[in-house]
């Protein structure tokens, strides 16, 4: 450890206490349960703690953000620089008026869906089908059951790496299927969501969607949710299954026999097993169908 690193670590310990860890295994913080250590891992419990960290962290040092780790593959060699997790930020959710709410990025989408149902705000049932936090849903325009997150976004608050918070209207961003751009060098901290006054969410509809998810997806097994984006006019799961890839294994990673667009950590997989399996599936689908699958999952960290 260099003297600069030692000094930096001491400053972080003094300012953040238990909210900062060093050489923290990312396998503890991803839904695949894989991933090497992060040099610095921060779980701020307030925006003030987050601001204190950002004030200390050097401008030239790498900085990464994660939510619940449900759409993330951290490589075995780990992550250089710092990882900020939004998991322990306050799960704030309040109703602004009859059709709008303000929500922090740390709130799980399933919790968000349940409260919006209680408030009779919708369309919102689809949030129950997103296996992550609102922050992750905003970052990738996550969706389920025919709806997407940014359909209901009115505005967002962002923080840059200097701790400065700004607010932007939804039309500031370029949003498309599973993609959002326009927030370079800044990260979402909260959002104002606006719902349709003529729509009333249904408890029965939400239950049907949850039952379908339970019956068709390998819940309870380590995965990241859907690995690949659906190509136009088709479904990645259908293409993968038609290529005969259900149950294909590399090391401890397996294409789920229950849902072909899920890769599960079936037996102490390494991140390298999962990444190789993702590449293999994409190659074989290309060979069989002539279609290039694009992955939804985000990769982080060093390969060696």
What values do phi and psi take at 120, rounded to 5?
60, 40
CA 296 from chain centre, in angstroms, equals 10
- Please indicate, yes or no, if residue 247 is contained in any of the structural domains: yes
The predicted structure's pLDDT at residue 183:
80
Looking at per-residue pLDDT, the higher value among 6 and 34 belongs to 34
Crossing angle, helix 203-216 and helix 109-118, to 10 degrees?
A: 160
Catalytic residue among 86, 104, 133, 226: 226
- The CATH number of whichever domain residue 128 belongs to comes to 3.30.465.10
88 in Cβ contact with 170 (< 8 Å): no
Query: Among residues 75, 157, 178, 270, which one is catalytic?
Result: 178
Tell me whether residue 123 is in a domain. yes
178 has catalytic annotation:
yes
The bridge status of strand 263-265 relative to strand 20-25 is: unpaired
Domain boundary among 85, 111, 131: 85
Nearest to 279 by CA among 263, 256, 301, 258: 263
Residue 279 located in a structural domain = yes
Catalytic: 296? Answer: yes
Q: Residue 38: its pLDDT value, please?
A: 97
CATH number, domain containing residue 255: 3.90.78.10
Is 74 strand, coil or helix? strand
- pLDDT tens across 183-232, in order? 877 899 999 999 999 998 888 888 888 888 888 899 889 999 999 999 99
Active site residue: 24, 254, 275, 296, which one?
296
pLDDT at 12: 95
Domain membership flag for residue 163: yes
- Structural domain harbouring 244: 218-300
C-alpha span between 239 and 226 (Å, rounded)? 13
- For the chain, how many structural domains are there in total? 3
Residue 90: predicted pLDDT = 86
Domain identity same for 44 and 135: no
pLDDT at 303 over 80: no
Tell me, yes or no, if 226 is annotated catalytic: yes
In a domain, 203, yes or no: no
**pTM for the structure as a whole:** 0.90
Alpha helical stretches, state H, the chain: 3-16, 47-56, 109-118, 134-140, 203-216, 236-242, 271-289
């Amino acid at each position: 450890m260099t003297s600069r690193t030692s000094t930096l670590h001491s400053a972080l310990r003094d300012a953040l206490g238990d909210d900062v860890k060093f050489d923290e295994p990312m396998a503890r913080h991803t839904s695949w349960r894989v991933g090497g250590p992060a040099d610095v891992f921060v779980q701020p419990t307030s925006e003030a703690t987050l601001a204190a960290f950002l004030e200390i962290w050097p401008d030239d040092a790498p900085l990464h953000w994660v939510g619940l780790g449900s759409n993330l593959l951290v490589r075995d060699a780990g992550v250089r620089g710092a990882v900020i997790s939004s998991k322990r930020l306050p799960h704030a959710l309040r109703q602004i008026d009859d059709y709008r709410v303000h929500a922090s990025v740390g709130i799980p989408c399933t919790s968000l869906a349940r409260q919006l149902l209680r408030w009779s705000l919708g369309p919102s049932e689809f949030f129950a089908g997103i296996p992550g936090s609102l922050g992750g849903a905003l970052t990738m325009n996550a969706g389920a059951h025919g709806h997407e997150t940014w359909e209901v976004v009115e505005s967002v608050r962002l923080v840059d790496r200097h701790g400065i918070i700004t607010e932007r209207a939804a039309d500031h961003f370029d949003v498309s299927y599973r993609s959002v751009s326009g927030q370079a060098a800044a990260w979402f901290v909260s959002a104002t969501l606006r719902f349709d006054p003529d729509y009333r969410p249904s408890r029965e509809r939400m239950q049907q969607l949850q039952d379908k998810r339970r019956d068709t997806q390998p819940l309870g097994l380590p995965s990241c949710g859907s690995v690949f984006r659906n190509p136009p006019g088709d479904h990645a799961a259908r293409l993968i299954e038609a290529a005969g890839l259900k149950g294909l294994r590399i090391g401890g990673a397996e294409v789920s026999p229950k849902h072909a667009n899920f890769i599960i950590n079936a037996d102490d997989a390494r991140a390298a097993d999962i990444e190789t399996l993702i590449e293999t599936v994409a190659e074989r689908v290309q060979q069989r169908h002539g279609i290039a699958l694009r992955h939804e999952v985000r990769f982080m960290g060093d390969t060696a």
